[in-house]
Amino acid sequence: MEAFLTAALGPHADGAKIRLYCEGSTEHYQWLVDRGVSFNASLWDAPTWMPLTEDGLMWLGENSWPFDRIAKPAPRGHRPGTSSFGGWLLMEKLSAAVVDAGVGVHTDTLATSLVVDAGGRVVGVAARRYGEELLYRARRGVVVTTGGFVDNEEMLAQHAPQLLGHDKVSDGLDDGSGITMAAAAGAATRRMSVVETALSVVPGLIARGMLVDALGQRFVNEDTYPGLISHAAVHRRPGPVWTIVDEEGYESLDERERWGVRPHHVAETLAELEKETGMPAGSLQATVAAYNEAAERGEDPYFHKAARWLRPLSPPYAAIDSRIRFHADRPERAGSTTGVAGFTLGGLHTTVDGEVLDLAGQPIEGLYAAGRASSGMHGENYISGTSLGDGTFFGRRAGRAAAAAGR
């Protein structure tokens, strides 16, 4: 697991955090189960963003090249028992566990700043509720878990402008407020330019066909995790990016798994498709010819797609424009806004115990952070689940550290 995550989240992933996360993964799984989070013992065995079933396990690229050469493949993606994205169910169960444990919860209360004593220790939080100014005394510590800053256009322009103008993956409240509050108290930030981007591709279709750039060239094995495909496409290739699939491949995918996406161009010949998509003449023809020749042998010498997904493509052909955004959770919204969505991965510089560090690399007494308000395990890549994963795992560590540091 450590070898896989180091490769999948890199380059420059946080090795110390990944190591602890992997060593504590089974205990953390059991901790979630003990608080009412259920995971069905069944596997969705195909590339996808998110299974539209209640399968509790999914692949995150472990069974695709090059990860299958780095570590023994195992489906490590655990999903709560729901047929959609599982974060809401996870949080529902954990929120109920908080109440059951007797913790006081103050909703509709906006934290506005940290309170720091003369010695530089964080001793509380200033807040506002329906116009009333409030002060909370923190005798043990404050843990910042306010999310990232994808909804703050000014912060994006300063640190991660590559997400400007694109869809946001958030609840609309990732405004960076926790990061700026901590920075005002002297906190350091880390890797603020690193982001996750999701390209509008249907994994089941690209696995059955291919993904090409504006020059008609393949650039990735289409059976790997779509988040990694998106990163390669958005940050490294000339746009637009096209899904090329034939009729057999399109029709072989269950309609629900197409998520409402239909071809934007259909043609009997690749030359016609090149003209309709604006690719250089002969480019796609050469790419498909090389792909088909190798697929006949069950091989992909260029990008090592698994033999399971290799089959020569034949006319008629279709091209799907990934600049047109679809929504996996709501197919009726297909075609809205842009074909790229994302969120931020950088944040407050923390230790493995969630201690927030200052600009000199020293812990700020009484201040902790976790989740996307902090810079977690990630290097320059992301795979799904590693925000919920490191947010809950390192959030627990931050809570324990804060409790132990109380005075």
Which residue shows structure tokens 């052909």? 317
State which amino acid sits at residue 313. Answer: L
pLDDT score at 373: 98
13, 6 contact by CB (below 8 A): yes
- In tens, the pLDDT along 155-187 reads 999 999 999 999 999 989 999 999 999 999 999
Lowest mean pLDDT among 23-27, 77-81, 83-87: 83-87
pLDDT tier at 327, thresholds 50, 70, 90: low
Mean pLDDT of 187-193: 97
Q: Count of alpha carbons within 13 Å of 237, Cβ hemisphere only?
A: 22
Tokens of 19: 């190591």
Q: pTM to 2 decimals?
A: 0.93
* Beta-bridge mates of residue 168: 342
**Per-residue confidence band for 274, with pLDDT thresholds at 50, 70 and 90:** very high
Q: What is the pLDDT of residues 197-215, one digit of tens each?
A: 999 999 999 999 999 999 9
Please determine, for residue 37, whether its predicted confidence score (pLDDT) is greater than 70: yes
Give me the count of residues in the chain. Answer: 407
Mean confidence (pLDDT) of the chain:
94
Does residue 336 register a pLDDT over 50? no
Distance set, CA 252 to CA 106, 267, 329 (Å): 51, 19, 21
| Rg, C-alpha atoms of the chain | 23
As a whole number, mean pLDDT of residues 16-28 equals: 98
296 burial class (0-12, 13-18, 19+ CB within 10 angstroms)?
exposed
Q: Which amino acid is at 366?
A: G
Segment 335-361 mean pLDDT: 90
Q: Does residue 58 register a pLDDT over 90?
A: yes
What's the pLDDT score for residue 17?
98
| Better pLDDT: 81 or 191 | 191
Question: What is the per-residue pLDDT for 406?
Answer: 65
SS3 content of the chain, % helix, strand, coil (to 5): 35, 20, 45
Residue 333's pLDDT band, with cuts at 50, 70 and 90, is very low
Strands 347-348 and 189-190: antiparallel
> pLDDT at position 335, please?
47
Average pLDDT over residues 118-127: 97
Residue 331, pLDDT > 50, answer no
Confidence (pLDDT) at 207: 97
How many other CB atoms sit within 10 Å of the CB of residue 139?
9
